[in-house]
């Protein structure tokens, strides 16, 4: 089944960005005389490069109501300032790691120390899933140790960089790419360059200056390209047909770029260095140096490039169903990847997103790359580390799900509050205590009356029950899954009691002070914080029109109450899914999932191919296997059903 909307709508992106206090690039407007800037924005978004100005003054963005993109269901993910949130994540993750390190000093069991068996200076012995080194004695069983430190080294093919003079202009396209001999007669070099010194910079025709370099790559080699200096650069990589195969904006320190890419097939590739801009990063035609859409950042930069066969180290661990695995790497390690027993990638990361874990979560963080994963079945899983030459230190830990430690048979409660609530929105990054209006106040915006409220609530509860509990029982691997669903219409408010999550369904962006549709307090693999909150705001969902409004998909043919109940139930289930440990999945691919990020709302609402909700072809969106959304820097296949199911395991302690 296809998803019907593009990842983001581009209308109004530039206007929306102007409201952010930020470091703005050089002028670029939607009326660029050099081409279709809207197409440039789409191209930039598809490559994972943001199209809003970058916030450099810490804390100011929060004052605009911007929501944490990891835990929020945003109307337009294209408006996210990735740079700002990356910087916030690094600081918060470091603070959390320091706290956890202090806690671990009090732990009774010292970690296993596993020294890599592959000798320093060699690669190839443990470079695959099949040849992974087994870490013996690790696990969650009574006679096993659930913590290990892996000490190793990466010894990729040695490179000898040459210091080379800058490329001559015009080198602004694939056909004019400068030949440094990379992959032909040298495997590494350093040089300098300047964005803006060519015939198409601001001193020329203003269409935008790009520097292209030819790369002769062989399958399996790793291309590394990093910039230095003070210019905000973007590095892209094209294949010989002119397709963008990789890109990086702020992968290096601060606003600098660092692109690491494994060459998939032998052939010629073309490295591009550009200045950051709003829709101007890539030329309209990479074979035409004058096809830029306006000049972005300009200035001098340094460039370090290498092309060599990498060293990848794999380690195997035996897990049982429900084990919650966490890993963090420091040193030269920049990437961690978890594979299931069959070899499929289930979590890959080059970042530390542990700042969104609940404080009660025992999972490690604070490294260059951090992973988390809930094992759906018994088996031998592997953790791969990649990076540059040198030594690394990996912390790997495994725990049983949090609710499993409760008394025998105790289940989690999910409380749905339709009556409005006074809530401290600071727990979501908002301005503080706010009063959210009730569901009833929005019924008229969908053409319903107060008399319809009970039927809508019935539909919401049925959808949430089917999405979470019924599907987990029918298709999950947790034999002890359980969930009690209560609501403000039928039950006393239990929030504040142990093991009660709350989702407030009501309120507006203005009331909450957070620019989102929904947001959860944490992403909590293993569900260690069992008294947390989420909100689902109803103003956007009940607007007269817009891709994120239910009214857009209502026609005379709609069973309106059924559609609204199902759609709200799906959005509520999405936010609950974060509390149960799920990250966002890709809204653009052909796999429907309740954890799909914003930008594909008809699907999340259950709208079928006729683009009308509440009709016979409506689709049942569920939890299940899907790819992580590329916008958040994760790779692999996420099993959102089993992550949810094991977060809701019944207690068994005696």
SS3 letters across 235-264: EEEEECCCCEEEEECCCCCCCCCEEEEECC
- Give the pLDDT mean for 507-529: 97
pLDDT higher than 90, residue 183:
yes
* Same domain membership, residue 198 and residue 257: yes
Domain boundary among 308, 330, 346: 308
CA distance linking residue 259 with residue 166, whole number of Å: 20
CA distance linking residue 575 with residue 39, whole number of Å: 32
pLDDT of residue 107: 57
Cα dihedral sign, 293-295-300-301? negative
pLDDT of residue 57: 57
Q: Are 149 and 109 in contact (CB under 8 A)?
A: no
pLDDT of residue 34: 61
Tens-digit pLDDT profile for residues 383-442: 999 999 999 999 999 999 999 999 999 999 999 999 999 999 999 989 999 999 999 999
pLDDT of residue 5: 30
pLDDT higher than 90, residue 322:
yes
pLDDT higher than 70, residue 605:
yes
The two three-digit tokens of residue 565, written as one number: 């109940």
Residue (of 231, 310, 215) closest to 269 by Cα position: 215
pLDDT higher than 50, residue 23:
no
* Same domain membership, residue 175 and residue 152: no
The two three-digit tokens of residue 265, written as one number: 């097939």
Share of the chain above pLDDT 90, in %: 81
The two three-digit tokens of residue 297, written as one number: 């950042």
Q: How many separate domains does the chain show? A: 3
CA distance linking residue 324 with residue 601, whole number of Å: 31
Per the prediction, the chain carries an average pLDDT of 91
CA distance linking residue 256 with residue 510, whole number of Å: 36
* Residue length of the chain: 654
pLDDT of residue 604: 94
pLDDT of residue 10: 28
Residue (of 374, 413, 648) closest to 531 by Cα position: 413
pLDDT of residue 29: 42
pLDDT of residue 271: 98
pLDDT higher than 50, residue 171:
yes
pLDDT higher than 90, residue 65:
no
- Give the pLDDT mean for 609-618: 96
In a domain? residue 209: yes
Would you place residue 620 in the very low, low, confident or very high pLDDT band (cuts 50, 70, 90)? very high
* Same domain membership, residue 190 and residue 130: no
In a domain? residue 72: no
Tens-digit pLDDT profile for residues 575-590: 999 999 999 999 988 8
Q: What is the DSSP letter of 466?
A: I
* Same domain membership, residue 173 and residue 140: no
pLDDT of residue 82: 85
In a domain? residue 543: yes
pLDDT higher than 60, residue 458:
yes
* Same domain membership, residue 461 and residue 357: no
Residue (of 187, 117, 127, 184) closest to 158 by Cα position: 187
Would you place residue 184 in the very low, low, confident or very high pLDDT band (cuts 50, 70, 90)? very high
DSSP codes of every residue in 374-431: E-SSSEEEEEEEEEEEEEEEEEEEEE--GGGGSBTT--EEEEEE-S-EEEEGGGGTSS
In a domain? residue 22: no
User: Which CATH number is 152's domain given?
Assistant: 2.60.120.380
Instruction: Kindly give the pairing relationship between strand 500-505 and strand 533-536.
Output: parallel
In a domain? residue 552: yes
Top-confidence residue, 106 or 65: 65
pLDDT higher than 80, residue 544:
yes
pLDDT of residue 105: 60
In a domain? residue 421: yes
Cα dihedral sign, 613-614-617-618? positive
pLDDT of residue 108: 53
pLDDT of residue 79: 83
Lowest-confidence segment of 61-70, 102-111, 157-166, 171-180 by average pLDDT? 102-111
pLDDT higher than 70, residue 9:
no
Would you place residue 58 in the very low, low, confident or very high pLDDT band (cuts 50, 70, 90)? low
pLDDT higher than 90, residue 22:
no
* Same domain membership, residue 251 and residue 127: no
pLDDT higher than 80, residue 261:
yes
CA distance linking residue 335 with residue 221, whole number of Å: 16
pLDDT higher than 50, residue 12:
no
CA distance linking residue 328 with residue 366, whole number of Å: 7
Cis amide leading into 247 (omega within 30): no
Instruction: Classify burial at 201, counting beta carbons within 10 Å of its beta carbon; exposed 0-12, middle 13-18, buried 19 or more.
Output: buried
- Give the pLDDT mean for 444-461: 98
Can you give the residue range of the structural domain that contains 493?
405-647
Would you place residue 4 in the very low, low, confident or very high pLDDT band (cuts 50, 70, 90)? very low
Domain boundary among 399, 428, 448: 399
**pTM summary value:** 0.91
CA distance linking residue 504 with residue 481, whole number of Å: 24
* Same domain membership, residue 149 and residue 166: no
Domain boundary among 378, 399, 420: 399
Q: Are 394 and 328 in contact (CB under 8 A)?
A: yes
Neighbouring residues of 181: CB distance < 8 A, sequence distance ≥ 6:
none
pLDDT higher than 60, residue 13:
no
Q: Give the containing element (helix H, strand E) for 455.
A: helix 453-464
In a domain? residue 231: yes
pLDDT higher than 70, residue 654:
no
* Same domain membership, residue 180 and residue 152: no
C-alpha dist (Å) from residue 579 to 91, 225, 418, 532: 22, 38, 19, 8
* Same domain membership, residue 467 and residue 349: no
Top-confidence residue, 93 or 547: 547
In a domain? residue 150: yes
pLDDT of residue 17: 28
Residue 138's SS3 state is strand
Neighbours of 184 (CB within 10 A): 13
* Same domain membership, residue 638 and residue 517: yes
pLDDT of residue 76: 84
Tens-digit pLDDT profile for residues 300-311: 999 999 999 999
* Same domain membership, residue 499 and residue 352: no
* Same domain membership, residue 282 and residue 366: no
Residue 42's SS3 state is helix
Share of the chain above pLDDT 70, in %: 92
- Give the pLDDT mean for 70-79: 89
Residue (of 415, 468, 465, 429) closest to 581 by Cα position: 468
pLDDT of residue 90: 81
Tens-digit pLDDT profile for residues 137-153: 999 999 999 999 999 99
Would you place residue 85 in the very low, low, confident or very high pLDDT band (cuts 50, 70, 90)? confident
Neighbours of 262 (CB within 10 A): 15
Tens-digit pLDDT profile for residues 476-508: 999 999 999 999 999 999 999 999 999 999 999
């Amino acid at each position: 089944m296809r998803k019907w909307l593009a990842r983001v709508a581009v209308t109004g992106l530039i206007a929306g960005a102007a409201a952010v206090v930020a470091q703005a690039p050089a002028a670029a407007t939607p009326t660029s005389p050099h081409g279709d800037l809207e197409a440039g924005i789409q191209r930039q978004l598809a490559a994972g490069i943001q199209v809003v100005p970058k916030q450099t003054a810490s804390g100011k963005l929060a004052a605009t109501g911007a929501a944490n993109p990891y835990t929020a269901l945003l109307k337009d993910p294209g408006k996210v300032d990735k740079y700002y949130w990356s910087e916030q994540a690094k600081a918060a993750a470091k603070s959390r790691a320091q706290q956890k390190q202090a806690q671990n000093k009090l732990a009774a069991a010292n970690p296993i120390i596993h020294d890599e068996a592959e000798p320093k200076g060699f690669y190839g012995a443990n470079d695959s899933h099949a040849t992974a080194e087994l870490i013996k004695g690790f696990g969650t069983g009574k006679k096993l140790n659930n913590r290990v430190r892996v000490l190793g080294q990466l010894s990729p093919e040695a490179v000898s960089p040459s210091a080379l003079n800058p490329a001559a202009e015009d080198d602004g396209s694939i056909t004019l790419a400068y030949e440094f001999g990379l992959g032909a007669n040298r495997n590494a070099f350093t040089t300098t360059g300047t964005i803006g010194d060519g015939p198409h910079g601001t001193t020329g025709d203003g269409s935008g200056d790009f520097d292209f370099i030819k790369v002769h790559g062989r399958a399996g080699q790793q291309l590394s390209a990093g910039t230095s200096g003070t210019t905000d650069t973007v590095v892209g990589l094209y294949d010989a047909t002119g397709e963008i195969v990789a890109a990086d904006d702020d992968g290096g320190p601060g606003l600098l770029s660092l692109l690491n890419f494994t060459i998939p097939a032998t052939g010629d590739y073309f490295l591009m260095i550009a200045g950051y801009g709003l829709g101007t990063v890539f030329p309209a035609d990479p074979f035409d140096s004058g096809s830029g859409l306006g000049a972005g950042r300009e200035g001098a930069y340094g460039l370090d490039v290498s092309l060599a066969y990498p060293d990848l180290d794999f380690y195997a661990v035996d897990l049982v169903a429900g084990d919650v695995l966490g890993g963090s790497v420091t040193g030269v390690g920049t990437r961690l990847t978890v594979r299931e027993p069959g070899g499929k990638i289930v979590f890959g990361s080059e970042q530390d997103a542990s700042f969104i874990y609940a404080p009660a979560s025992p999972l490690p963080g604070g490294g260059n790359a951090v992973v988390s994963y809930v094992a759906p079945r018994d088996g031998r899983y592997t953790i791969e580390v990649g990076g540059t030459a040198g030594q690394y230190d990996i912390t790997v830990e495994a725990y049983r799900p949090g609710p499993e430690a409760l008394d025998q048979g105790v289940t989690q409660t999910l409380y749905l509050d339709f009556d409005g609530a006074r809530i401290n929105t600071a727990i979501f990054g908002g301005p503080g205590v706010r009063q959210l209006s009730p569901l009833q106040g929005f019924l008229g915006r969908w053409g319903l009356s107060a008399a319809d409220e009970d039927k809508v609530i019935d539909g919401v509860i049925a959808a949430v029950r089917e999405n979470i509990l019924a599907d987990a029982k029918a298709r999950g691997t947790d034999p002890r899954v359980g969930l009690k669903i209560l609501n403000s219409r039928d039950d006393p408010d239990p929030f504040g009691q142990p093991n009660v999550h709350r989702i407030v369904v009501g309120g507006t962006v203005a009331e909450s002070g957070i620019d989102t549709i929904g947001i959860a307090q944490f992403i909590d693999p293993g569900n260690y914080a069992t008294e947390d909150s989420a909100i689902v705001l109803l103003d956007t969902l009940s607007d007269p029109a817009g891709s994120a409004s239910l009214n857009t998909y209502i026609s005379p043919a709609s069973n309106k109450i059924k559609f609204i109940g199902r759609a709200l139930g799906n959005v509520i289930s999405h936010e609950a899914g974060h509390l149960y440990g799920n990250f966002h999945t890709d809204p653009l691919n052909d796999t429907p999932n309740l954890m799909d990020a914003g930008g594909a709302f008809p699907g999340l609402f259950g709208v079928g191919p006729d683009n009308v909700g509440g009709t016979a072809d409506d689709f049942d969106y569920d939890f299940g296997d899907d790819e992580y959304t590329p916008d958040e820097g994760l790779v692999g296949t996420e099993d959102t059903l089993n992550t949810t199911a094991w977060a809701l395991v019944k207690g068994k302690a005696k």
